[in-house]
Amino acid sequence: MSLKYSDASGAEATSNSFWMPDKYKSTTKRTDDGYKVCNDIIMCFQERAKIEKQYALQISAWSRKWKPLVEASPMYGTLLKAWHAFLTSADRLSELHVEIQKSLVTEDADKIRNWQKEMYHKKFFGGFKETHEVKVGFRKAQKPWTKKLKKAGKMKKLYHAKRKKERVAIVRENSCKANQTTSASKQQKLQGDREKCSQDAEKVKQRYTKAMEELNKYNPKYMEEMEMVFDQSQQLEQKRTIFLKQIFLSIHRHLDVTNNESFRSIFKDLHQTLLSVNDQNDLKWWRNTHGPGMPTSWPHFEEWSPDREKITDKGKGKKEGGKVVLQSLRSGAD
């Protein structure tokens, strides 16, 4: 289970404590990770932008495919208008998702890149100046304390070794005393060894105690300097957190189509068109266009009139031909 902020003050001290030598490295690494996280956010929402664009293209293609089919369908009147409104709204929706895609790729991503340039300055030989400054600050604050810690550790190791040697001398002395065959000179020698070990241990104990006193005396200054550098890192992280919060809110604003006025307008207009479907109007239109309501010219008696006849060229030819034949017949009779 990860450690919660509220639990941190009550956590057990471990060798991984921030105050131990080089354990500040997770904090310096956080500075580098902050830059990397910004890149990851850009990549994450660029992928989302591709999805938005793909959706826009697919819904636009769907609209283009069905428009001629809808227009050529037997549907008519307000129902046809309602069906067609879905395709129109799809076109508008496609444009909206293209705008979302552009916002994610350009506006939000560019904000992050520009912020990275302002907050992270690359060193000539790699890495970031900000990380280097924090690392050097920690190293400088920790150096004198670490030196005293190593001295105290050395004294501790030597003191424990002396006490161990004293313990061995005591065991030998007691064993010798328990053995009645042991000579007095040997007992006296073992006693002398034990006394010398005890004296040596006490001398080292004084040096160890002094080293620990010097270390603990320096702790407040050490903690103050370490916290000053840590606060420097915290300030950079605070700026990053506040900035990325604003970025996430911006991304949310772009993706949250429910609060987008254009989105609401699309479906409001579509809804109004659907509500305008009117069976009476459609039936009346059909009646007047294809039914009993159509205007018509009823058959009635019409008198013949020469003016109404139209003699065509073809008819003229036939009549003139008939006259020629009739004249020939008459000439033959004569």
Name the most confidently modeled range: 176-190, 210-224, 256-270, 294-308: 210-224
DSSP H helical segments within 72-122, as ranges? 77-102, 109-119
Q: How far apart are CA 128 and CA 27, in angstroms?
A: 14
Task: Enter the CATH code of domain 20-120+256-296.
Answer: 1.20.1270.60
- pLDDT tens for 33-64 read 999 999 999 999 999 999 999 999 999 999 99
| Residue 14, SS3 per DSSP | coil
pTM beyond 0.75, yes or no? no
User: Model confidence at 304, in pLDDT bands (50, 70, 90)?
Assistant: confident
Q: How far apart are CA 160 and CA 243, in angstroms?
A: 53
Q: Contact at 8 Å (CB) between 96 and 260?
A: yes
Q: Contact at 8 Å (CB) between 207 and 155?
A: yes
Q: Which residues pair with 122 in a beta bridge?
A: 128
- pLDDT tens for 88-133 read 999 999 999 999 999 999 899 999 999 999 999 988 888 889 899 9
